[in-house]
Amino acid sequence: MTSPLTLSFGSDHGGLALRRGLIAALKAKGCVILDRGTETEASCDYPDYAHAVGADVIAGRARFGILVCTTGIGISIAANKMAGIRAALVQSADAAELSRRHNDANVLCFGAKYVDLPTALACAEAFLAAEFEGGRHSRRVDKMESCG
């Protein structure tokens, strides 16, 4: 018997509604969710949520993370500052799948201004279904991990 997939979620106020929608949809598909907030539309700082989700992934509490802010840009930059995190900002299922297959991404990021719930869910499903291909991509991922 395999254990359910655990995902860590975070967003700032700009990503609150999309994060909640994704959580509900992925919970319904059997995923275990670690929800790191935010819980209100009051202005807050996206790096706090990127770091909380990144810490879950690095520590192995979650297999993957999903982050949302207004554009997705700030929260993906903040997540990528953490050693061991490879966060991909995507707007299509194809890009989400390739971020796993070619880059071994472990955090998926969205901009709520640019991606609606059906698109974000399709991206998340493609991301979660894909496997890292290794091979020539491993060499590139190793180079990314040695930066900084």
Q: Extract the tokens encoding 94.
A: 């194809």
69 is catalytic: yes
Q: Across-strand partners of 11?
A: 68
137 is catalytic: no
Single out the catalytic residue among 31, 44, 69, 123: 69
Phi/psi region, residue 92 (left: phi>0; alpha: psi -120 to 50; beta: rest), is beta
CB 86 within 8 A of CB 79: no
Distance CA 76, CA 104 (A): 15
Indicate the helix (H) or strand (E) that contains 66.
strand 64-69
My answer on whether omega of the bond before 38 falls inside 30° of 0, hence cis, is yes
| Closest-CA residue to 84 (of 112, 120, 54, 53) | 54
Length of the chain: 148
Catalytic residue annotation: 69, 102
